[in-house]
Structure 1
Amino acid sequence: MKTIIFVLATVWCIFSMSGYLLANTIVTDGLVSYWTFDLNNIDGNLVEDVWGENHAEIVGQTNISDGYIRQGLELKGLKNYVIIPNFGNFGSQLGPFTFEIIVKTSYKISWTPIYRVVEAPHCDKGNRGHGILINATIDFQNRGAFPLPLNNMVTKEDSIYLQRSFRRQNGCSSHSSGFPSQISDGKWHHIVYTYGAPFTDDSGNEWRQSSLYVDGEQKYGRRFNPSNPEDALPYTQPIYLGAINKNGNATRPFRGIIDEVRVYDRGLSYEEVNQNYQSKIGLGVESTHKLPTIWGTLKKR
């Protein structure tokens, strides 16, 4: 009898734990790349993509530090950053994507990028490019003549700034917005930028939506026509996590810890963003040079 009870208890524990893991893991539908920055997934200057094949590269001297989940990568602001290759809808193609990162920083002396790409032709002039900046805003009083503002990004504490510039054959289409958000307070913050999430209004019209979330709260939302400009061009330069990539040159390094960077090939919904925000275990396993086979079924969903 004791043996039967023990077996039943063991089975119950296994199923209970499986349910807990699945309920608290991140969204995997549409996940393209995932950089945990855990010690087991860093080999020299190579950061393993534990979900895909888009391995990242560390530039400069960095430290492995306590992360939000296990370990994270500390950037000291001395020309050290992480190069994410240009791939999929997050740069090399035009289409929906989600970019997600968890950061911890106390630096607010001047504005710094989570990432920002500035690329010729056309989108490297004035205040152009695409990315996420913290403690930043536009100096509208000295912006110059519209639509070609001067290089007038200025520091504004406790703010976050989103930029999206489309490269075009004969120009650059830009949209940018800033919002109050206390990021540089020495605490962990979950930042998500979704682009191209489908949305249908009450009249049945289909739109796409661009959103910025901080700690599960939507700071920004903008609806737009699903089609991109016919002459829109994808970016060719890679993403520099923790720096501006201006035509291949790194500037304005970030000071702080980065962790749990993920890219999806679709725009996550509000509910999915919050599922990831609530997750404290990532995929639920500690990867050692590729995930265990058990997670292969999740990846195929």
Structure 2
Amino acid sequence: MIFFVWLLMAAGGASAQASVSQLNSFISCKPFAAKSDGKQACIVIVAVRNADGTIAKGKTVSLQSSRSDHDVIEPSEAVTDERGITHFEVRSSQSGTSTITAICDGVEIERGILLDGAVGIYTFDGIETDNIVRDLSLQENHGKLFGGPELVPGKTGQAIFLDGHSQHVEIPNAPSMSGADGSYIEAWVRADTDVNDRELQIIAQKSYAHRGDYALALNKGRIVYHYRSAQRPKDQLEEALSLARVVQPETWRHTVGFWEGSDIEERVRHHGYVRGYVSGETFDPQPKSQQVEGIWMGRKEGQPFSIGRSGDDSSHFHGTIDEVRVYNRALYDEEMRRNYSGDTTITFGLEPPSDFQADDQTLPECVVLAWDLCGPEVTTYEIYRSDHSDVTITPENLLIVVPHGRDHFRDYNVRFDSSYHYRILAKSFTNASLASEVVSATPFPAAKEEKWYLGDGHFHTFTHDVIAEDFTPELTLAEAKKLEFDFVLVTEHNSLGSYFRAEDQATEDFIVFGNGQEISDGGKHRTGAFLRHFIPTANQSVQEQNAMALSMGAEVGPNHSEYREGPNNITLFELVNDRDWYSFDTWDNQYLKKGIPVIAKGGSDAHGRWSVKRGIRWCVWAERHSYMAIKEAIQKGRTLAVDGKGLLCMLRVNEAMIGDRLQITSGTPLEIKIDATADEGAITEVKLIKYGEVIKTWEPNTSQFKTTWNDKDFDGQSTYYRLEVESEELELKAVSSAIFVVEPS
């Protein structure tokens, strides 16, 4: 009989405490904003649980709104299903914010917990002598207490106090908790007096081999979140650790950590991919730790999930833990705030931002769009652009998805001889407002000045494997401006993490391409330039990753690698990384000789302000100093790879210049023109390369070198020319992209 009752309890059936619990039941709202048109709905889910955390199925639930005169709730009441949940839709024709409560068996349910993506919700309320810690989510990932933790008053209801030696909670391994596509942990903690002395205290961790698949922890009072990639070595962590101590002893703190995951549709998080948060008396949306890394597949060890220790019986937590929640995706800021406060409000009156403006006079060849921010219930803004004044809201016209909290966007992908028309709308997840009125702009041109523009094609502005307090887009790019860079291509590891903030740093004299990525799949690294969204590396071959970049009109190619036997679908080749030059054999033999126009690129691989001083690595010949002019020049192959400032060269074949494809008939004379300049010192060697072979060498030993030289007449066989120039005195080298010579097709 005892065994039979235990089975009923484990299955969510009747138990000694089969009464609806206010502490264990909750309301989940998503979307939590809608238009006040009486049609668009906010969705409300009520999860009903008994006092011991078991599922309360077959219970009648009614939903109430604080604005009952204005809101329509459908259905008026519902019965919980096998999972103990009910669904409601709430609509209104009157703008305003409503607080939602539910009634079940006379118990008022009024706490909010987000259910979408939840794989573990642990309140620690109603734990009985069986020591079972019930999971209130829909996944039934129940755990068990070990070591006899004390049940103490918590942040809400009951919590567990852990002695820092052996006490913990263990949840058996389950596919839903793998975290392979994204992970998130939050918990209220009250660390004991020794928090600043303990090197590592695990709040919650999945698996334990090599410090776990993902984990939220404290390290001497600092917040830390990490996850491990299936594409990295097993012992390598992607970790976000705060520099400062953010958790004080014997003080309640709301701790959060997440890895944003590998979902290509998740395009709104442009800040960082591994992050940690800490809040006290009020919710703090600013991350305390972050690392821009992470479009991988998470590692799955198949070991238990632990609360209060690492699964290998180490790194025990000392103090009180309450309200642990685990999700298989990262939560938006407003979702985190709602979990923090237990919010059950929904908002009607979802409208487009007011005061939407288009400024075409501040920057050349740029339209600066600005608007007034909506409320926190808005998760994203969508901007639509068209050449026609009647901007229709269609996927083809979608220009950009902007995360909440941003009130402006710079549109650099414009031409100065065209007019553009824009509309904006606000979204709360799937719910969208109406679109704004149309605003229009006609950009003015940058001054025409055809020359070499000096910059960098491999540049990091956010922390990856370097801990630096001043490692931000603002400070890092300010250093590049100070050093008189003309342009920078930002290439964060597996992220467009600094896109908006980076491009905000651009001026009339300093162009920033924030839409680059160092595609890092644990093997060969590549640059993606001019991307519309990031390139995920999980479950994709290098060839597939390259193809995705090219499909969006981007450029792609290897970084700091000879790239032997690499796929042929590339357009860039990083010949120099910092001061290290790579063999040109692969570039010549695998690409250029096959007629594949892979252009020369250089990169400093700067990580933070201190390494920006490595200087210029990529030069682009453009007719104007503007975003579009430099971008189009790169796409035409008008580039030099260099290892510093002070050495430039130009190559022309007949009327063609670097990057061109010269089409001539057999027997046409070939006139080669070379122009090289060293700012200081002498040019010591100039090499003309034809089809991978040096056909002519000069040793001018002057600061300027100009010559015209005639090659044999074109024999009808496709070929190419490129140039290498050196200055031993300056210890500089410049290598040009190729000019292809072919017969007309």
Specify the TM-score bucket, using the shorter chain as the normaliser: 0.5 to 0.7
Counterpart in the other structure of 2:337: 274
Structure ID, larger Rg: 2
Shift of 1:117: 5.6
1:16 aligns with 2:105: no
Counterpart in the other structure of 1:33: 120
1:257 aligns with 2:306: no
Counterpart in the other structure of 1:199: 267
Counterpart in the other structure of 2:585: none
Return the letter of the residue paired with 1:195: W
Counterpart in the other structure of 1:75: 162
Counterpart in the other structure of 1:8: none
* CA separation of 1:199 and 1:213: change in aligned 2, threshold 3 A: farther
Shift of 1:280: 7.6
Q: 1:113 aligns with which of 197, 202, 205?
A: 202
- The Cα offsets for residues 132-173 of structure 1, whole Å up to 9 and x where unpaired, read as 331x2xxxxxxxxxxxxxxxxxxx4x3223332235596443
Q: 1:188-227 maps to which residues of 2 (within 5 A)?
A: 188-196=252-260, 198-200=266-268, 209-215=273-279, 216-217=283-284, 218-224=287-293, 226-227=295-296
Q: 1:70-109 maps to which residues of 2 (within 5 A)?
A: 70-88=157-175, 90-91=177-178, 94-106=180-192, 107-108=194-195, 109=197
* CA separation of 1:251 and 1:41: change in aligned 2, threshold 3 A: same
Larger displacement relative to structure 2 (99-108 or 219-228): 219-228
* Whole-angstrom CA distance in 2 between matches of 1:280 and 1:104: 22
Contact 2:188/2:253, CA 8 A, preserved across alignment: yes
* Whole-angstrom CA distance in 1 between matches of 2:165 and 2:202: 14
Contact 2:228/2:234, CA 8 A, preserved across alignment: no
- The Cα offsets for residues 244-286 of structure 1, whole Å up to 9 and x where unpaired, read as 223xxx12321111111111222101111111112289xxxxx
Return the letter of the residue paired with 1:221: Q
Counterpart in the other structure of 1:289: none
Shift of 1:199: 3.0
Contact 2:215/2:225, CA 8 A, preserved across alignment: yes
Counterpart in the other structure of 1:163: 226
Contact 1:167/1:235, CA 8 A, preserved across alignment: no
Segments of structure 2 that go 5 or more residues without pairing to the other structure are 1-62, 69-97, 102-109, 345-745
Shift of 1:225: 5.8
Shift of 1:73: 1.0
* Whole-angstrom CA distance in 1 between matches of 2:249 and 2:232: 41
Contact 1:89/1:97, CA 8 A, preserved across alignment: no
* CA separation of 1:239 and 1:32: change in aligned 2, threshold 3 A: closer
Contact 1:199/1:209, CA 8 A, preserved across alignment: no
* Whole-angstrom CA distance in 1 between matches of 2:119 and 2:206: 20
* Whole-angstrom CA distance in 1 between matches of 2:343 and 2:159: 14
Shift of 1:213: 1.4
* Whole-angstrom CA distance in 1 between matches of 2:302 and 2:213: 12
Point out the structure with the larger helix share: 1
Higher relative contact order (CA 8 A, sep 6+): 1
Counterpart in the other structure of 1:234: 300
Contact 1:37/1:260, CA 8 A, preserved across alignment: yes
Shift of 1:75: 1.1
Return the letter of the residue paired with 2:226: Q
* CA separation of 1:77 and 1:226: change in aligned 2, threshold 3 A: closer
Return the letter of the residue paired with 1:133: A
- The Cα offsets for residues 72-125 of structure 1, whole Å up to 9 and x where unpaired, read as 11112231101123234533x5112221111112232323221346745xx36x
Shift of 1:66: 0.4
Q: Which SS does the other structure have where 2:257 is aligned?
A: strand
* CA separation of 1:62 and 1:98: change in aligned 2, threshold 3 A: same
* Whole-angstrom CA distance in 1 between matches of 2:176 and 2:295: 14
* Whole-angstrom CA distance in 2 between matches of 1:201 and 1:275: 18
> What is the aligned-residue RMSD (CA, Å)?
3.2
Q: 2:215 aligns with which of 119, 128, 131?
A: 131
Counterpart in the other structure of 1:294: none
Counterpart in the other structure of 1:9: none
Counterpart in the other structure of 2:646: none
Counterpart in the other structure of 2:412: none
Contact 2:145/2:168, CA 8 A, preserved across alignment: yes
Q: 2:250 aligns with which of 169, 178, 186?
A: 186
* CA separation of 1:200 and 1:50: change in aligned 2, threshold 3 A: closer
* Whole-angstrom CA distance in 1 between matches of 2:240 and 2:177: 20
Segments of structure 1 that go 5 or more residues without pairing to the other structure are 1-12, 137-155, 282-301
Q: Which SS does the other structure have where 1:245 is aligned?
A: coil
* Whole-angstrom CA distance in 2 between matches of 1:113 and 1:225: 21
- The Cα offsets for residues 216-263 of structure 1, whole Å up to 9 and x where unpaired, read as 4321334446343xxx641211122111223xxx12321111111111
Count residues with an aligned counterpart.
231
Counterpart in the other structure of 2:236: 173
Return the letter of the residue paired with 2:113: I
Return the letter of the residue paired with 2:323: E
* Whole-angstrom CA distance in 1 between matches of 2:322 and 2:269: 35
* Whole-angstrom CA distance in 2 between matches of 1:41 and 1:21: 28
* CA separation of 1:170 and 1:211: change in aligned 2, threshold 3 A: closer
Contact 2:163/2:319, CA 8 A, preserved across alignment: yes
* Whole-angstrom CA distance in 2 between matches of 1:177 and 1:169: 16
Counterpart in the other structure of 1:47: 133
* CA separation of 1:280 and 1:85: change in aligned 2, threshold 3 A: farther
Q: Which SS does the other structure have where 1:274 is aligned?
A: helix
Shift of 1:194: 2.0
Contact 1:89/1:96, CA 8 A, preserved across alignment: no
Return the letter of the residue paired with 2:198: S
Counterpart in the other structure of 1:285: none
Return the letter of the residue paired with 1:268: L
